[in-house]
Amino acid sequence: MPPIDRYGSDVLSGDWRAPKGGRSVDVAAEPGLVVEEVETGWVGAVVRVEKAGGMHVVHLEDRRGRTKAFPLGPGFLIDGKPVALTRPVAAAATALAAARQAQSRTASGSVAVHDARAKVASGSRIYVEGRHDAELVEKVWGDDLRIEGVVVEMMDGVDDLAGIIAQFQPGPGRRLGVLVDHLVPGTKESRIVEQARSLPGLADHVLVLGHPFVDVWQSVRPERLGWQQWPVIPRGTSWKHGICAALGWPHASQADIALAWKRILGRVRTYADLEPALLASVEELIDFVTAPTT
C-alpha cells in the first residue's frame, strides 16, 4: 500500500501561471491577436514577440496605446477561455510568403507592375475631402494610381461641391471622381451631392460617390487597432477629438489629432484593413476615371 501524503501535492509544482477553469490551448501570438493576461487583467493586441533576458516575451498594446510585455506561454484568455501563447512557428515562412506576395501585389490587391515608371498625369482626377482621406487613398491605391497617371487632390470640404466641379471643367478625356465622407440619406452631404449631380451635361464625366462613415478614420477596421468597435461620439462633440478622448489619447491640439491619425494610418497595411463600403467607392471611382474615352 503506497504511503499517504498528508500534505497533498506540492503547491509549487506545475505551472502557476496556467489559468484556472480549464486546460490551456496553444495559440500562436500573431500580431493583432487580442488577449487578456490573467494575473493583471491587462487586455491588449499582440504587437510583437521577442527574446529578452533569456526568455521570450509578448508585447500587448491596450486600447489607450500603452504597451506592456509578458512572458510567452500560458496565463492568457481569449474570449474567456484559457490559452497558452506560443511563438508564431511559421513566422519566417509567413514573412517569406508575404514578401513574395508583396512582390506580385500592390496594397490594393492589384497585380504589381515592377520597374514601371509613373505615367504623366492624365487630365482626370479624384477629389477627396481632406488630407487624411488623401493619405489613406495614397497608402492603399497609390501604386495603382501612379501607373494610371491619376492624381488625387483635396477639396477641403464639400460645401461648394457644385462650384468645385464647375471649376474643374470636366469633359471628354477629363473625368472627375469625387469621394464624399458621411454620404447617408438625410445628411447635409447628401443634399449637396444631389445638387451637384443635377448639374446639366456632366453625367458622362463626373461620378460622385461616398461612404457612410462620419470620418475616413472610421473606415479602418477597428480590429486592426485592437478594438471591437469604434467609440460612439455624442452629437455636438467634435468627432475626432471625441474619439481621441474616448480612447485616452491626447487631443488638446491639432498636433495631437495629427499624431492620432498617424497612429491609425500606421496600422493599415492593405485593402483588407479597410471597410468594404470605402473599398467599393474608391475602386469604382478609379475604374471611372481610368476608363478609356471614346
Burial 186-225 (b: 16+ CB within 10 A, else e): ebebeebbeebeeeeebeebbbbbbbbbbbbbbbbbeebb
Same domain, 121 and 34: no
Residue pLDDT, tens place only, 239-288 = 999 999 998 999 999 999 999 999 999 989 888 999 999 999 999 999 99
Same domain, 71 and 134: no
The Cβ of residue 134 has, within 10 Å, a number of other Cβ atoms equal to 19
Per the domain annotation, does 95 fall within a domain?
no
Same domain, 149 and 66: no
Same domain, 59 and 147: no
Q: Which residues contact 98 (CB under 8 A, 6 or more apart)?
A: none
**Per-residue pLDDT, 88:** 81
Given a cut of 50, whether residue 9 has pLDDT beyond it is: no
Average pLDDT of span 127-146: 93
Same domain, 53 and 163: no
Same domain, 276 and 152: yes
Q: Output the domain CATH number for residue 58.
A: 2.30.30.30
**Per-residue pLDDT, 110:** 54
Distance (Å, rounded) from C-alpha 70 to C-alpha 37?
Answer: 8
What is the average pLDDT score of the chain? Answer: 82
Per the domain annotation, does 8 fall within a domain?
no
Given 87, 122, 139, the domain boundary residue is 87
Domain span at 58: 25-87
Same domain, 40 and 126: no
Same domain, 154 and 80: no
Helix (H, G, I), strand (E, B) or coil at 81: strand
CA–CA distances in Å: residue 190 to residues 114, 143, 195 = 40, 31, 9
The Cβ of residue 36 has, within 10 Å, a number of other Cβ atoms equal to 18
In total, how many domains does the chain have? 2
Per the domain annotation, does 179 fall within a domain?
yes
Distance (Å, rounded) from C-alpha 18 to C-alpha 22?
Answer: 9
Per the domain annotation, does 135 fall within a domain?
yes
| DSSP H or E stretch at residue 25 | strand 25-28
Per the domain annotation, does 171 fall within a domain?
yes
Per the domain annotation, does 159 fall within a domain?
yes
Same domain, 280 and 145: yes
**Per-residue pLDDT, 15:** 46
Residue pLDDT, tens place only, 157-207 = 899 999 999 999 999 889 999 999 999 999 999 999 999 988 887 878 999
Same domain, 45 and 120: no
Same domain, 160 and 284: yes
Given 64, 87, 110, the domain boundary residue is 87
And the C-alpha cell for 188?
447635409
Q: Under a CB-based contact definition with an 8 Å cutoff, are residues 119 and 149 in contact?
A: yes
> 80-94, 144-158, 236-250: which range is least confident on average?
80-94
The pairing of strands 55-61 and 206-210 is unpaired
Per the domain annotation, does 56 fall within a domain?
yes
Q: Which residues contact 38 (CB under 8 A, 6 or more apart)?
A: 17, 19, 75, 76, 77, 82
Same domain, 51 and 78: yes
Q: Which residues contact 267 (CB under 8 A, 6 or more apart)?
A: 220, 224, 225, 273
Which residue carries 490551448 as its cell? 25
Per the domain annotation, does 286 fall within a domain?
yes
Residue pLDDT, tens place only, 195-206 = 998 888 787 899
